[in-house]
Structure 1
Amino acid sequence: MLRHYGVDLLDWHRGQLSSRRLSVLVRHLPRDSALIRALHGEAADWSVTDYLLASVVDQLAEANWMFATVNRDEDSEPLEFPEALPRPGDQPEAGPTHRAGAPTAEELTRFFL
């Protein structure tokens, strides 16, 4: 509170800061505040725009993978499915490298032929 607003939290206890004003100040703390970092961890560093850009990059990588998979020689080895960009709070998954519901290389080949 003191760093961002210049308001001492003890002012609320002293009666110099109303509960409503304190509530408004806490609700509108910036993402780099200690409270927001304590509540949300690494996710506080990412905005909605950052998540959307990561999603766009993932979708573009998948589209490129689909194009390359469909247009490869039949005798060549299958291409690896691209990994998603890591997001804050994501845990590494053990198991298949592609997303649930994503088509396999064989399904794409059958679809486009």
Structure 2
Amino acid sequence: MAEALRCRAGGIAGLRRFLEEYGEAVEWDIARYWPGRSLLELYRGEMSWRELRVFLRFLPHDSATARTLRGATPEEDAWTLDRQLLATIADAVRESTFTAVKLHGDPKKTGRLKPPKPIPRPGVEEPQKTNVIRFGGRHGSGAKQLAQVFGRPAANQ
């Protein structure tokens, strides 16, 4: 936040340009972080430009002004570092529970269990389905699939 203010040097004129571009976000943050104050006080002479500059310089990372400067979407902003870590822990617990049930459960009952999908996160795409070659069972020996992968005819054809 402070870097954005510094790169727009120019004192009061710079702050005016900043307010022209980000005024709504600043107005929202003043109402949220500075109860009882309003951006109108600046124009009435009840707030100094210095007070506004100091307020803007020390706004927290999750303020509306900082989010607007970063151009972050609300979904991206909702996923802070602590939420990312919590989702990682939740995924690990779910995978661990799945593994314990598969290893120690009745194979007849747990045979069709599928591993849990990770919690969706913004900017992370779901893994694509892979070409899994299955041997035996209802899918056959897999010789045809292997032959396609390596570009040769299957031995039993």
TM-score normalised per structure 1: 0.55
Q: Aligned Cα RMSD in Å?
A: 3.5
Instruction: Please list, as runs of the form range in 1=range in 2, the aligned pairs for 1:41-60 lying within 5 A after superposition.
Output: 41=73, 42-60=75-93
In 2: Cα distance, 1:54 partner to 1:86 partner:
9
**Identity, % of aligned positions:** 18
Q: How does 1:1-113 map to 2 (within 5 A)?
A: 1-5=26-30, 6-7=38-39, 16-17=49-50, 21=54, 24-25=57-58, 28-29=59-60, 31=62, 33=64, 35-36=66-67, 39-41=71-73, 42-74=75-107, 77-95=111-129
Number of residue pairs matched? 90
Counterparts of 2:120 and 2:104, CA distance in 1: 28
Secondary structure of 1:40's aligned partner: coil
Distance 1:35 1:24 in 2: 10
Q: Which has the higher helix share?
A: 2
Larger relative contact order, structure 1 or 2 (CA cutoff 8 Å, min sep 6): 1
1: distance between equivalents of 2:65 and 2:55? Answer: 16
Partner of 2:17: none
Deviations 1:46-85 (A, max 9, x none): 3333222212211111011111111234456252111011
CA distance in 1, matches of 2:72, 2:99: 35
- For residues 5-34 of structure 1, what are the alpha-carbon distances to aligned partners after superposition, in whole Å with 9 as ceiling and x for unaligned? 2458x98xxxx349x737614xx2452515
Give every structure 1 segment of 4 or more consecutive aligned residues whose post-TM-superposition deviation is greater than 4 Å: none
Is there any run of 5+ residues in structure 2 with no aligned partner, and where? 1-25, 31-37, 44-48, 131-157
